[in-house]
Structure 1
Amino acid sequence: MSEDKPLVLTKEDEIDQLFERSPILTSQNTGWDGVSFRYMSQPAYETPEICTCLGHSITIFTHGNYAINADRKLDGRFHRDSVVGGDIVIIPANIAQKCAWDAEGDFIILGIDTKTFARAIEESKQPEQVQLIPYFSTPDPLVLQIGLAIKNALQNNPLGSRLYAETMVNALSVHLLQHYSARKPKIKEYLNGLSKLQLKLIIEYIEHDLDKDLGLNELAELLHMSPHYFCYLFKKSMKITPHQYVIKTRVHRAKELLLTGKYSIAQVAFMVGFANQSHLNRHFKKLIGVTPGKIGK
């Protein structure tokens, strides 16, 4: 690999220009807050040395059990990786890296904005001192599971996956902080859930803005807490995640509207915040047991 000076990336779309092929799937234009996602299939290739100030980057290899040899330079260190599906590489923000690999493979690149990453544990002590460590190829089944779950959500519902994706990335951030950081933060535990007032406030907000593409950060900020603790306390109170609650509320609102006989299924889907009619159909059948078309007949 040649010894050029690192190419500094300052714009999100510059990442795609580094590769031979465009992403198969991307979160561009989804409105996700502080998160980017790319699913790629690339031939044997060599990237230039790059350094990005856009945020932390997690590469998740999904090509299966066969090994791909990769020569990687990361934070000034060289290493030959024998990469298999399920391995990950962690590249913190502002760390130079380059890579050359010898066979075609599939992988996910998850980008996490540094502010979003820090916000995940802002209630822990001295979060500004928590730093992500660069990691060469290492297996991590949980990170693989999160990456594939986000990929599946983006494939099935690209314009309505924001809350789910941000929730999964928040869980990923906490996992990374616990296992791949220089100083492990102490994650507080709470015996109780949200207070009655907090629960009333968040439920009223969700129901009022049900037709909007709600995000995890905006819900957490409403109660002045980190996304991690908001998710934890909400689930402790409601027994389901915020994303599951939003889906459930949308489905039941859709049922009420369909029973009036005034609106088409497509209109109802839009009115309650689903991206499209098929998205409503899938969740409606799962929760109600019948398709929306059966309601009112």
Structure 2
Amino acid sequence: MKEFKTLEPVNFIREKEAGYKRIFRRLPLVSSVSVGWDDLCIAYDQYPPGELPKILVKQHCIGIFTDIPSAVQAERKIDGRLVQEQNVQGDFVIVPANTSHQVVWNKLGGALSIAIDPTFFAQTIYEIVNPDRIELLPQFATSDPLIYQIGLALKSVLVKHGTTSRLYAETLINTLIVHLLEKNSVLCRNSSEYVGGKLPQYKLRQVIDYIYAHIDRDLSLKELGTVVQMSPHYFSQLFKETTGITPHQYVIRCRIERAKDLLQQGKVSIAEIAEQVGFVDQSHLHRYFKRLVGITPKTFLQQFQK
């Protein structure tokens, strides 16, 4: 492997796609920036055979190989350790923040890249462990079914409905962080771990009222957690314990209920209703409405008008 001059440290939180361009000399095919997900740093791209210069990134970086038609031979160096590896679909790589990374590979492949700020990582896990005693470990290419599924799901929402799927994306990122905490970290659990807790009813009411008051917006876990003064991960955990479903699933159901009310009123078109309740377009509403109600919005409207 050739030795390159180390690039100036990259800070994806500040630089966003400009940081990506400094490394790869192009913009990614799609990213969290292009779909308007504030505070998230996610990109999907296709990578022809090539080499990555030696870099340091201010964030924890996770690469998930989502589209590898055939095995890719690679030489990867993380923090000075060189490994000859074979990358296949479903593999992932971890490069902790401020750790040197360099790689050369021989075939085209598609991958999802995620940069997680160490502060956000700590905020997500602080109710589980003392974040000051956590060290995220480097990981050369290896497989993990859950991480692969998270990568596929994130790629899908980026490409299809990114502009209204931030809450779902944040849920996936939180799941990824907790999984990395369990599988790829050196940690010492403390006494502040919460098991089996539920949201007090008044806090649950606050969140539900907030959701309905802002149903047309692309709500985030951070935003909903702030309503009840909780971290995104802890809020998400307690919300699911309390309601039996994730915040994202609950918001979708609220949108469908509001859509049903508007359909019954018969004052605006289905396309306008979709926009008013926070879906991308009429087809996006159609898909979730049929999944949850069992019929399409049009059929629902026709039945109500009889």
The answer to whether 1:164 aligns with 2:163 is: no
The answer to whether 1:57 aligns with 2:61 is: yes
The answer to whether 1:145 aligns with 2:149 is: yes
Matched residue SS, 2:135: coil
Q: Which residue of 2 aligns with 1:86?
A: 90
Aligned residues of 1:130 and 1:185 also touching (Cα < 8 A): no
Matched residue SS, 2:162: coil
Q: Which amino acid aligns with 1:107?
A: A
Q: How many residue pairs align between the two structures?
A: 296
TM-score (norm 2): 0.91
State the Cα distance separating 1:20 from its structure 2 match: 6.6
State the Cα distance separating 1:65 from its structure 2 match: 6.9
Q: Which residue of 2 aligns with 1:114?
A: 118
Q: Which residue of 2 aligns with 1:40?
A: 45
Aligned residues of 2:35 and 2:158 also touching (Cα < 8 A): no
Q: Which residue of 2 aligns with 1:135?
A: 139
Match of 1:284 among 271, 282, 289: 289
State the Cα distance separating 1:95 from its structure 2 match: 1.0
State the Cα distance separating 1:22 from its structure 2 match: 4.4
Q: Which amino acid aligns with 2:263?
A: L
Q: Which residue of 1 aligns with 2:10?
A: 9
Aligned residues of 1:178 and 1:184 also touching (Cα < 8 A): no
Change (3 A) 1:59 1:4: same
Aligned residues of 2:16 and 2:33 also touching (Cα < 8 A): no
Q: Which residue of 2 aligns with 1:75?
A: 79
Distance 2:213 2:284 in 1: 20
State the Cα distance separating 1:286 from its structure 2 match: 0.9
Matched residue SS, 1:120: helix
Q: Which residue of 2 aligns with 1:210?
A: 215
TM-score (norm 1): 0.93
Distance 2:233 2:289 in 1: 28
Match of 2:264 among 259, 276, 280: 259
The answer to whether 1:104 aligns with 2:105 is: no
Structure 1: tracts of 5 or more residues without a match: none
Distance 1:35 1:88 in 2: 19
Query: RMSD in angstroms over aligned alpha carbons?
Result: 1.8
Matched residue SS, 1:48: strand
Aligned residues of 1:63 and 1:85 also touching (Cα < 8 A): yes
Structure 2: tracts of 5 or more residues without a match: none
Aligned residues of 2:20 and 2:26 also touching (Cα < 8 A): no
Q: Which residue of 1 aligns with 2:32?
A: 27
Distance 1:167 1:17 in 2: 29
CA displacement, residues 255-283 of structure 1 (integer Å, 9 cap, x when unaligned): 11111111111211111111222211111
Matched residue SS, 1:15: helix
Distance 1:59 1:289 in 2: 38
Q: Bigger CA drift: 139-148 or 111-120?
A: 111-120
CA displacement, residues 140-160 of structure 1 (integer Å, 9 cap, x when unaligned): 111001110111122221210
Matched residue SS, 1:23: coil
Aligned residues of 1:56 and 1:113 also touching (Cα < 8 A): yes
Aligned residues of 1:26 and 1:37 also touching (Cα < 8 A): yes
Q: Which amino acid aligns with 1:111?
A: A
Q: Which residue of 2 aligns with 1:243?
A: 248
Q: Which amino acid aligns with 1:214?
A: L
Q: Which amino acid aligns with 2:175?
A: A
Q: Which amino acid aligns with 2:265?
A: T
Q: Which amino acid aligns with 1:92?
A: P
Q: Percent identity?
A: 43
CA displacement, residues 105-142 of structure 1 (integer Å, 9 cap, x when unaligned): 11111122222211111223421221211111111111
Change (3 A) 1:15 1:175: same
Distance 1:78 1:185 in 2: 32
